[in-house]
Amino acid sequence: MMGKISRDFFEKNIINKIGKERDEVVVKPENGVDVGIIKIGNKYLAVTTDPLYIDRTFGFEKAAWFAFHILLTDLYTSGIRADYMSIDLNLPLSISDDDFNKIWNVINEESKKYNMEIVTGHTARYANTDYPMLGGVTLLGIGDDYITTRDAKVGDKIIMTKTCALEASCILSYTFPDYIKSELGQETFNALADLFYNMTCIREEELAIDYGIKKRITSMHDSTEGGLLNSIYEIGVASNNGLSINRDDIIIDEPVKKVCKLFGIDPLRSISEGTLIITVNEKYAQDFLKILNENNIKSRIIGEIRDKSFGIKIFDNGVYRDIKPESDQFWGAISDGINKGLS
C-alpha cells in the first residue's frame, strides 16, 4: 500500500507500543487525531510531526511553501498556534547549495510570518536519499486550551472548505500538464494549476481559533489521506459519534470533477490538503459560515454529528450509505500516469 499505513496496521503494530505512558499526555497517538497534547502546569503543549515533503515538480520555492503549510495546518487543528520548530533535513547528495537555500529561505520567511522560531535540528547530505521525503519536522505550540477530533459533539454542524480532491487535482496538473491540456484544454489546466496556494488551511483555522474553540468550534480536521470521506470517518470514530453528510452539499469544483474523471478517481476518496472539515456548535454554525465566506473561503455545511447508533453515513441518491475507510485513489492514478509515460 502506497501512502500512509492503514488504520488496521496502525492499530495492530503501533498503538500498543508507545513506551511508558505518562499522566501529563492528555491526547495520545490516535487515528484521525492530528496532534498530541501534553499538559504542563495550566497550559497545553500541542505537538505534531510530519515528513518534510519537497516535490520538485512545483519548483523548490513552491515545494517548500507547500511542505511548510502541510505541517502548520496539522498543528492548528488543535486550536493552538505554532511557536517552535525542530527540523531534520536528510538531503540527497545532488542538492546544490543554491537549491537548498531556495527551500530554507521559504521556511525561514514563513516561520517569521507565523511567529515561530526554529529551535533545533539536523542537516546533512546522505547517499541513497531522494526527493520528495527529505527528513522530518516537529512543530510545537503552547495554548490555554485545545481541541481535537475527539471533541466533536452530537448536534454539531459539519462545515467543509474549498473543494474535494484539491491536492490530488493540483498535483496531477503539475505532473502531467501536457496530457491535461490536450484532454481537458488550457482553461481547465490553468484552473487546476491555480489551486496551488489554496493547499493550506491556515487562514480558516486562524478564523476558527479567533472565533472561539471548545464552546463554538469543537474540532478541525484537514482532508488528506483518503480524501473527504476518510476524514469524515475519522471524526466519527475519534469522537465516538455517528454522523451524516449529504453528497449534494459537498463542494467539488468543476475543473476538479473533470480531472478526477480523466484519471478515473473518486474526488471524495482523493487526497485534499487545503480542505478543512470543521465541526461547529449548531448555535454558531451559520454565523461562522458567514465569516468564512466573507473572507473569500468557499465553505458549506455538509452534515451534522449524530448519535453513535446512527452510524457514519452519506446520503446519496435518496439512500443513506455507510462510510468506510478506503485507500487513497490518488496514488494509483499518479503511478499509472508515470508508468504510461504521460507528461
DSSP class per residue in 241-280 = -EEEEEGGGS---HHHHHHHHHHT--GGGS--TT-EEEEE
251 falls within a domain: yes
C-alpha cell at 312: 457514519
User: Is 13 inside any structural domain?
Assistant: no
Q: How many residues does the chain have?
A: 343
Whether 320 and 229 have beta carbons less than 8 Å apart is answered as no
CA distance 54 to 135: 10
Residues 94 and 196 in one domain: no
Task: Classify burial at 35, counting beta carbons within 10 Å of its beta carbon; exposed 0-12, middle 13-18, buried 19 or more.
Answer: buried
Angle, to 10 degrees, between the axis of helix 60-76 and the axis of helix 202-211?
A: 30
Q: Measured between alpha carbons, how far is 206 from 211 in angstroms, rounded to an integer?
A: 8
Q: What is residue 2's predicted lDDT score, i.e. its pLDDT?
A: 64
Amino acid at 143: G
Q: Does residue 178 sit in the same domain as residue 134? A: no
Percent of the chain with pLDDT over 70: 99
Model pLDDT for residues 278-299, shown as the tens digit of each residue: 999 999 999 999 999 999 999 9
In a domain, 2, yes or no: no
Q: What CATH number corresponds to the domain at position 326?
A: 3.90.650.10
Any bridge partners for residue 91, and if so which? 125
**Measured distance CA(285)–CA(283) in Å, rounded:** 6
Work out the pLDDT band at 245, boundaries 50, 70, 90: very high
- Name the pLDDT band for 56 (thresholds 50, 70, 90): very high
- The residue from 143, 176, 193 where one domain ends is 143
Burial (CB count within 10 angstroms: exposed 0-12, middle 13-18, buried 19+), residue 343? exposed
**Does residue 272 sit in the same domain as residue 204?**
yes
**Interatomic CA distance for residues 29 and 43, integer angstroms:** 20
pLDDT beyond 60 at 1: no
226 three-class SS: coil
User: Looking at residue 234, what DSSP letter applies?
Assistant: H
The three-state secondary structure class of 149 is: helix
Residue 262 lies in a domain: yes
User: CB–CB of 223/268 below 8 Å?
Assistant: no
Quote the number of domains for the chain. Answer: 2
With H, G, I as helix, E, B as strand and everything else as coil, classify residue 133: strand
Over range 299-317, report the average pLDDT: 98
- Residue 187's CB is within 10 A of a number of other CB atoms, namely 10
* In contact, 90 and 130? CB cutoff 8 Å: no
Query: Do 110 and 182 reside in the same domain of the chain?
Result: no
DSSP 8-state assignment for residue 83:
-
Same domain, 285 and 330: yes
Q: Are residues 156 and 139 in the same domain?
A: no
Domain with 269, as residue range(s), is 149-339
**Residue listed under C-alpha cell 507500543:** 17
Cell numbers found for residue 277: 472539515
Q: Does the pLDDT of residue 84 top 90, yes or no?
A: yes
Mean local confidence (pLDDT), 147-169: 98
Average pLDDT in the 227-242 region? Answer: 97
Q: How confident is the model at residue 11 (pLDDT cuts 50, 70, 90)?
A: confident
Domain boundary among 123, 143, 163: 143
CA dist., res. 141 & res. 202, Å (int): 14
Helix/strand/coil (H/E/C) assignment for every residue in 287-307:
HHHHHHHHCCCCEEEEEEEEC
Residue 313 confidence (pLDDT): 98
Cell of 321: 450509505
CA distance 188 to 174: 13
* Whether pLDDT at 120 is above 80: yes
All three cell numbers of 181: 491540456
241 within some domain: yes
